[in-house]
């Protein structure tokens, strides 16, 4: 007996290996990269580098240009050699470069940039895959490594009191939530839990939380997806599967 895989089998296999192989190294690298918005049209890469080099060693610096006109699109990216250096730049906000007040936030990866709510500024994260022995204090203790946590809550059925397997973590600032959301799956007390931004439904439908592709290195991916859970505050948490 011999097995002849269909033509698409190698593609699917490579995709599985690449996703399964994503580790802390890739996630930490993403935490080192910052999006800089609202740049002066005259700001050059040299000027951007000069300003942000004050907070650490830059491994990359780019001002994004219009491919046709070669003029600045008024945003760019800087990448630091260590997460702590990127944290220092974020902590020094607000920044002014060449007379413009600029916006700093964690850059969204190309893979995630097309997902609903990827660019939303939120302080609240959805946490799924919670097992019965995980408590709210466990969530607070774990997520405090990304920044100050206001509270955590695990949602239970109102009638039975049984835990529903998901909850929410509330941070004191947007950057802490962004940092935690970069890591898709977190190990907590021996369990693997999924993390994503909790984005209000109207922000997804109206585009308020969607942002634009300029907030990441990639363009918009092609794919399909759907579904979601509504939390007790009426917000929607969507789970989408995208194909390249």
Go through the domains of the chain in sequence order and give each one's CATH number. 32-106 (3.30.70.330), 124-238 (3.30.70.330)
pLDDT interval class at 212 (50, 70, 90)? very low
Rounded Cα–Cα distance for residues 182 and 23 (Å): 11
The burial of 187, by beta-carbon neighbours within 10 Å (0-12 exposed, 13-18 middle, 19 or more buried), is given as exposed
Whole-structure pTM value: 0.65
**Confidence tier at 131 by pLDDT (50, 70, 90):** confident
Summarize pLDDT for 105-121 with one digit per residue, the tens. Answer: 998 877 777 676 667 88
4, pLDDT greater than 70: no
Q: Which residue has the higher pLDDT, 49 or 134?
A: 49
In this prediction, residues 25-30 reach a mean pLDDT of 67
Q: Is the pLDDT of residue 234 over 90?
A: no
Unique residue bearing structure tokens 């995630």: 112
End-to-end Cα, the chain, rounded Å:
33
Q: What is the mean pLDDT of residues 139-149?
A: 95
CA distances from 220 to 31, 94, 115, 165 (A): 21, 29, 9, 32
C-alpha span between 220 and 210 (Å, rounded): 11
pLDDT value at position 26? 52
Contact between residue 109 and residue 217 where contact means Cβ atoms under 8 Å apart = yes
| Three-class secondary structure of residue 199 per DSSP | strand
Cα 198 from Cα 170, distance rounded (Å): 10
Structure confidence at residue 42 as a pLDDT band (50, 70, 90): very high
Of the candidates 149, 234, 237, 143, the one whose C-alpha atom is nearest the C-alpha of residue 198 is 237
CB 70 within 8 Å of CB 46: no
The Cα 122–Cα 178 span in angstroms is 8
* More confident: 57 or 231: 57
Answer whether 191's CB lies under 8 Å from 172's CB.
no
Mean of all residue pLDDT scores within the chain: 77
Nearby residues of 10 by Cβ (< 8 Å), 6 or more positions away? none
What average pLDDT does this structure show over 202-217? 45
Distances (CA, A) of 191 to 26, 49, 126, 145, 184: 21, 41, 16, 17, 13
pLDDT band at 19 (very low <50, low <70, confident <90, very high): very low
């Amino acid at each position: 007996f011999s097995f002849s895989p269909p033509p698409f089998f190698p593609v699917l296999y490579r995709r599985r290996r690449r996703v399964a192989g994503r580790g802390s190294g890739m996630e930490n690298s993403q935490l080192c990269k910052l999006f800089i918005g609202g740049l002066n049209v005259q700001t050059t890469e040299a000027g951007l580098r000069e300003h942000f080099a004050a907070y650490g060693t830059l491994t990359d610096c780019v001002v994004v240009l219009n491919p046709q006109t070669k003029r600045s699109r008024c945003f760019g990216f800087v990448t630091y050699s260590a997460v702590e250096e990127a944290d220092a730049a974020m902590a020094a906000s607000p920044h002014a470069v060449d007379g413009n007040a600029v916006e700093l936030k964690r850059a969204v990866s190309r893979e995630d940039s097309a997902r609903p709510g990827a660019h939303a500024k939120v302080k609240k994260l959805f946490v799924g895959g919670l097992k019965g022995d995980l408590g709210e204090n466990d969530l607070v203790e774990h997520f405090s490594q990304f920044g100050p946590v206001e509270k955590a809550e695990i949602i239970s059925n109102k009638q039975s009191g049984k835990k529903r397997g998901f909850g929410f973590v509330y941070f004191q600032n947007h950057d802490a939530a962004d940092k935690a959301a970069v890591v898709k799956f977190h190990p907590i007390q021996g369990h693997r839990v999924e993390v994503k931004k909790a984005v209000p439904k109207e922000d997804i439908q109206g585009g308020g939380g969607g942002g634009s592709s300029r907030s990441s290195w990639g363009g918009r991916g092609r794919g399909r997806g759907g579904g979601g859970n509504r939390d007790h505050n009426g917000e929607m948490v969507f789970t989408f599967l995208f194909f390249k």
